[in-house]
Amino acid sequence: MRRMREDTRPRLQGVPDPAFLIRRMTREDLPAVMALEKASFRNPWSLELLQRELSHDWSIIFLLEEPSSEGGRHLLGISIFWIVHDEVHVLNVATAPEHRRRGVGRALMDATLAEGRARKCCLATLEVRKSNEAAINLYKSFGFRAVGVRPNYYVDEGVAPEDAIVMVLDF
Ligand SMILES: CC(C)(COP(=O)(O)OP(=O)(O)OC[C@H]1O[C@@H](n2cnc3c(N)ncnc32)[C@H](O)[C@@H]1OP(=O)(O)O)[C@@H](O)C(=O)NCCC(=O)NCCS
């Protein structure tokens, strides 16, 4: 059953909600994933980019859903990552704005890193905006450490370019 806003049950730190379901994305999920991308990023991934990811053997997109009150499933978050040789490269993690701070991002990162370990990877890497405190905290809580900076990596129309922090986790 969907957890409603007035639910006052305490959330156990670090324990995923038992209603969370994680599965791989398929083409049928494209509209819901596009909507989540648009709600989460100033520069969301395009339909073409997502379609291309679905066709790459090395690319995995995990969706986190929970049962909805209408009887179907509701998309709460996504993670997009590549498995290349012995490395998991995390490209994108996003939680629907109205479901943040419920452990969705943590559950997705957990599943992403578990997939990497299962495929015998020995490290995980990612880039994150210098100002993205929420994401940096999330990654640090898994043991990622900052190893470098890519100056002016994010170039968006109408705003100053922003540096990327490069983070690494050794398994
Ligand atoms: C970053 C993001 C994915 C986190 O998702 P989330 O589902 O809210 O995260 P969780 O509830 O699992 O939180 C896990 C931990 O992340 C950190 N965190 C999450 N949101 C935070 C915030 N607003 N401020 C500070 N730390 C935060 C905390 O350490 C948190 O642990 P805690 O709740 O025990 O304190 C989410 O804020 C998001 O979608 N942001 C927009 C998209 C984005 O920037 N993605 C990252 C691209 S690199």
pLDDT tens, position by position, 20-74: 999 999 999 999 999 999 999 888 999 999 999 999 999 999 999 999 888 899 9
7 within some domain: no
Is the residue at 96 inside a domain?
yes
In the chain, beta strands by DSSP E:
21-24, 59-67, 73-84, 87-95, 123-129, 145-154, 162-170
Whether 4 is in a domain gets the answer no
- Return the residue whose CA atom lies nearest to atom 35 of ligand 1: 101
Containing structural domain, residue 60:
21-170
Which residue among 138, 156, 166, 169 is best mutated to probe the pocket of ligand 1, counting the most ligand atoms within 8 A of its Cβ? 138
| 1 domain residue, yes or no | no
Residue 133 resides in a domain: yes
Total domains in the chain come to 1
CATH of the domain at 166: 3.40.630.30
- Please say if the pLDDT value at position 82 is more than 60: yes
Q: Are strands 59-67 and 21-24 parallel, antiparallel or unpaired?
A: antiparallel
CA of 43 to the centre of ligand 1 (A): 18
- The pLDDT tens digits for 92-151 are 999 999 999 999 999 999 999 999 999 999 999 999 999 999 999 999 999 999 999 999
Task: Provide the pLDDT confidence category of residue 157 given band limits of 50, 70 and 90.
Answer: confident
Domain contains 163:
yes
Nearest-atom index, ligand 1, CA of 104: 7
For residue 94, the ligand 1 atom closest to its alpha carbon is: 39
